[in-house]
Amino acid sequence: MRQVKNPFGLEITNPSSASITTGITLTTDCLEDSLLTCYWGCSVQKFYEALQKHFYCFRISTPQALEDALYSEYLYQEQYFIKKDSKEEIYCQLPRDTKIEDFGSVPRSRYPLVALLTLADEDDREIYDIISMVSVIHIPDKTYKLSCRILYQYLLLAQGQFHDLKQLFMSANSNSTPSSNSSPGEKSTDRSLLEKAGLSESEVEPPEENSKDCVVCQNGTVNWVLLPCRHTCLCDGCVRYFQQCPMCRQFVQESFALCSQKEQEKDKLKAL
């Protein structure tokens, strides 16, 4: 039986200083040895066609599978080996000889960066229900100065489904909302750029006022994502008792943990 927990984690280490010319630093946190493959200038159309192929045709469990689905419609590729539980910082940058300074005006036909995390060991791909995670990352350039952020983050499942992590309905507050530390002027600039790109409704995420506690016991830390409703509202202790989401009453078809028990214990120790 496959494990339902998510073996992948990725975040931007330097969102305020990242740019097309200076590069970007990504921090990975994987439960198993993994591969991080970065595709610069990835075709938007081919990317979404690739997700559909994962659903209908073949599973994107390796970098080669994604490259085949993209028909190599990207400008540059780099790959890194990630050791399990290492929380490595990976610096990614376009080579100067590519002479790419921007990706054109909005709406764009290419995403600045698409980062794919896959399990390095073939045996591990038979263990986990989530077989890869792909992140669509915006990086500012001289034409489009919207601050660096993860636009979309998809979990790809062995059965062919894929789920957008950016659209999970969290009952917990978020300490990493985009532009949370920005000045009013920067927020206004970001908002106008988002509106210009047609992203204002889907990309601006207002900070939640609720606590990080489970909606049932009000004591445990929220850790479980319920699918297909995507509510994230239950702790490890309560999730086993629910066949329906306590927030919307939709039947739960699948669920997965955002982090392992070991990771939660580490976070508690840091907070002390």
pLDDT 10s digits, 136-189: 999 999 888 888 998 889 999 998 988 887 655 655 444 433 333 444 554 554
Q: What is the pLDDT of residue 213?
A: 75
- For range 192-220, the mean pLDDT: 52
Q: Which helix (H) or strand (E) holds 23?
A: none
pLDDT 10s digits, 224-235: 888 777 788 888
Residue 116 near residue 28 (C-beta atoms within 8 A): no
With cut-offs at 50, 70 and 90, classify the pLDDT of residue 195: very low
Collapsing DSSP states into helix, strand and coil, what is residue 13? coil
Sheet harboring 224-227: ordered strands across? 169-170, 231-234, 224-227, 254-257
With cut-offs at 50, 70 and 90, classify the pLDDT of residue 221: confident
With cut-offs at 50, 70 and 90, classify the pLDDT of residue 76: very high
Every domain of the chain and the residues it spans: 10-167, 211-259
Q: What is the pLDDT of residue 245?
A: 85
Residue 131 near residue 154 (C-beta atoms within 8 A): no
Mean pLDDT of the chain: 80
In this model, does residue 204 exceed pLDDT 50? no
Q: Specify the higher pLDDT residue, 249 or 8.
A: 8
pLDDT 10s digits, 235-260: 888 988 888 888 777 788 778 787 76
Burial of 184 (0-12, 13-18, 19+ CB in 10 A): exposed
Helix residue ranges per DSSP H, 154-242? 184-197, 200-203
Residue 1 near residue 128 (C-beta atoms within 8 A): no
Cα 201 from Cα 9, distance rounded (Å) = 25
CATH classification of 211-259, choosing from 3.40.640.10, 3.40.50.150, 3.30.40.10, 3.40.47.10? 3.30.40.10
Distant-in-sequence, close-in-space partners of 143: CB < 8 Å, separation ≥ 6: 102, 103, 104, 105
